[in-house]
Amino acid sequence: MTAADTGLHYDRYLREVIDFLEKDQHFREKLHNTDMEDIKQGKLAKELDFVSHHVRTKLDELKRQEVNRLRTLIKAKQDLEGGNGMLSVDHQALLKQFEYLNHMNPHTFEVDDLDRLIKSATNDLENYDKERHDEFKKYEMMKEHDRREHLKTLDEDERKKEEEHYEEMRKKHADHPKVNHPGSHNQLKEVWEEADGLDPEDFDPKTFFNLHDTNGDGFFDEQELEALFTKELEKMYDPTNEEDDMVEMEEERLRMREHVMNEVDSNKDRLVSLDEFLVATKKKEFLEPDSWETLEQNQAYTDEEMREFEEHLAQQEQDLNLKAVDLQKQRDELERQQEQLNAQKVELQQAVEHMERLKSQKVEPPPEVHGECRLRHFVCLLIVVSFYRLTSDNVKLFLCYS
């Protein structure tokens, strides 16, 4: 099975489909001989009609398993969001959100399924790095926001000490050995010498490629590329140091990999072939690269983005406070209704007890009291009516708070 994990939520399904298609000799030959642009346009999907019956049967099974997995996820999500399981679920409608398969036919894997899978994976992978960068930017802004909020809680002397400590940690983090340009001759040569234990004078690009093509498929995938940058990252990040943030280290790794892919992956298939790698090693940029600007030299967000982020947080806090006030009002109203209900229950109980006593004594009330009993009886009826006139929603809310 393909070693690389794309990070997509349907990664396993994608890899299993590819693995089984590659077991068909006809399809494997077409896959290796088809241009990436033609694959994106769906030309390869039409070759599905020519694969063996055994492979098609297995693909049908994989699709049924994936549809069942999605249905389970949808059900679990509904349960988490408060679904009581009593409402009927339109799985077909919900499955529309998963564009990488044809939900109208959950039983067999057809040309349309392969076409959808290829196009969805291509599009999602192109957006995947952008989404990761956006998440990192939010992480950095939240970290800065929390730091500023913490400073507000300190007195002047404490705030000064905290600011001095912050600047000291920043300088300490920036004080590291020179970072080689990712994918350059010096960077790869350092891996050759320190990680592979080979003589730097014997550096050979083709041998280097074969050494680090760990799954032996003739390509550097994204994970294999990122592994090449570990030595550079260790110059800047140490998990035992207070000043080093491991989330930032992974962002730096992503930046390095993206840069090399943009420079070397000429056909944009998110893989680096041996030929692409060898061509890159002959370029001037490989031998004489520009200096690499690390994260501390490139702030992840602008001042304007930080301002908008804090405004958004402030608005969220305001909305939550308004909701909290509204919920408190509802609670107060429920408590008031509960008190009324309790009082009515007491009056009703007292009236019933009084009537029971009269009944047990078997004494006819005097004429002057008879009207009073009728009045009490009428009051009791009013209490009962008012008790049952409570709305069903109020009764439910009352039971929740009881």
Residue pLDDT, tens place only, 132-175: 899 999 999 999 999 999 999 999 999 999 999 999 999 999 99
* Structure-token pair, residue 63: 């699709």
Q: Which residue has the tokens 């196009």?
A: 119
Predicted pLDDT at 109: 94
Residues 6+ away with beta carbon under 8 Å from 254:
129, 132, 133, 226
Q: Residue 252 and residue 294: Cα distance in Å, rounded?
A: 7
Q: Residue 211 and residue 181: Cα distance in Å, rounded?
A: 21
In whole angstroms, how far apart are CA 105 and each of 14, 229, 261? 18, 44, 37
Please, are residues 317 and 311 in contact by the beta-carbon 8 Å criterion? no
In whole angstroms, how far apart are CA 337 and each of 60, 113, 387? 59, 58, 11
Predicted pLDDT at 144: 96
Nearest partner of 398 among 323, 345, 351, 321, judged by Cα: 345
Q: Which residue has the tokens 């690009």?
A: 205
pLDDT in tens, 95-120: 666 888 888 888 999 999 999 998 88
* Structure-token pair, residue 143: 């970290």
* Structure-token pair, residue 308: 């908008």
Please, are residues 386 and 344 in contact by the beta-carbon 8 Å criterion? yes
pTM exceeds 0.75 for this model = no
Predicted pLDDT at 71: 81
Predicted pLDDT at 149: 96
**Residue 219: strand pairing partners:** 273
Predicted pLDDT at 399: 42
Please, are residues 20 and 59 in contact by the beta-carbon 8 Å criterion? yes
Report CA Rg, the chain: 35
Q: Residue 88 and residue 160: Cα distance in Å, rounded?
A: 60
Q: Which residue has the tokens 């290796």?
A: 32
Query: Three-state SS across the chain?
Result: CCCCCCCCCCHHHHHHHHHHHHCCHHHHHHHHHCCHHHHHCCCHHHHHHHCCHHHHHHHHHHHHHHHHHHHHHHHHHHHHCCCCCCCCCCHHHHHCCCCCCCCCCCCCCCHHHHHHHHHHHHHHHHHHHHHHHHHHHHHHHHHHHHHHHHHHCCCHHHHHHHHHHHHHHHHHHHCCCCCCCCCCHHHHHHHHHHCCCCCHHHCCHHHHHHHHCCCCCCEECHHHHHHCCHHHHHHHCCCCCCCCCHHHHHHHHHHHHHHHHHHHCCCCCCCEEHHHHHHHCCCHHHHCCCCCCCHHHCCCCCHHHHHHHHHHHHHHHHHHHHHHHHHHHHHHHHHHHHHHHHHHHHHHHHHHHHHHHHHHHCCCCCHHHHHHHHHHHHHHHHHHHHHHCCCHHHHHHHHHHC
Residues in the chain, pLDDT under 50: 1-3, 85-87, 368-369, 384-385, 387-388, 390-402
Nearest partner of 118 among 208, 198, 48, judged by Cα: 48
Q: Residue 198 and residue 189: Cα distance in Å, rounded?
A: 9
Please, are residues 13 and 62 in contact by the beta-carbon 8 Å criterion? yes
Q: Which residue has the tokens 């809680």?
A: 153
In whole angstroms, how far apart are CA 212 and each of 188, 207, 221? 11, 9, 10
Angle between the 111-152 and 303-361 helix axes, to the nearest 10 degrees?
A: 90
Nearest partner of 121 among 113, 132, 109, judged by Cα: 113
pLDDT in tens, 360-401: 886 555 554 455 555 555 555 555 445 445 444 444 443 444
